[in-house]
Amino acid sequence: MNVVCLLGRLTADPELRQTPNGISVCSFSVAINRAYSGANGERQADFINCVAWRQTAEFISRYFRKGNMIGLNGSIQTRQYQDKDTGKNRTAFEVVINNAYFAESKSGSSQSQPSYSQPARPAAETGFSNTFSTGDLDGFSTVDTDDGDLPF
């Protein structure tokens, strides 16, 4: 079984390209803190190269920027290539991403991002209506429903 789950920060803006056949591919690197500190007490990180294809690539390049926290799952893939400088055969390891997730609140990100919330749909479309209050109860908001009946 080849399953990888990652949670880290992007080290640079994701790079979106198109193959000659028009398929989207996005390459990026994620910095992931290790669970322990080094000998001098300094936190260490691993830098993992990742690649995403098609809709996942477009999603990542659209909504994520350098420094954003991102959750990922996918699988490890290896590929062989020849080093241009030395002519030696090398092996590259990268994570092929199947899914990407927002891993921090919109307000918690270090840079401004495009809005990814959908506009509210009218009650006629949804079949029910809710009214949301802005009262603050230790970080929670109260919700008042119209009559308590379920829409099904």
- Residue 99's CB: how many other CB atoms inside 10 A? 12
DSSP state of 49: E
**pLDDT per position as a tens digit, 20-78:** 999 999 999 999 998 887 778 888 899 999 999 999 999 999 999 999 999 999 999 99
Query: pLDDT at residue 139 above 80?
Result: no
Which residue, chain included where needed, has tokens 């659209």?
62
CA distance to 27, 58, 93, 95, per residue, from 82 (Å) = 20, 30, 14, 20
With CA atoms as reference, report the closest residue to 104 among 54, 142, 68. Answer: 68
- Break the chain into its structural domains and give their ranges: 4-119
Taking the C-alpha atoms of residue 72 and residue 74, their distance in angstroms, rounded to an integer, is: 7
Residue 115 confidence class, pLDDT cut points 50, 70, 90: very low
Side-chain-facing half-sphere of 115: CA atoms under 13 Å: 3
Percentage of the chain beyond pLDDT 90 is: 55
pTM as predicted:
0.65
Q: Decide if domain 4-119 falls under CATH 2.40.50.140.
A: yes
Most confident region among 57-66, 81-90, 107-116, 143-152 by mean pLDDT: 57-66
The rounded mean pLDDT for the chain is: 79
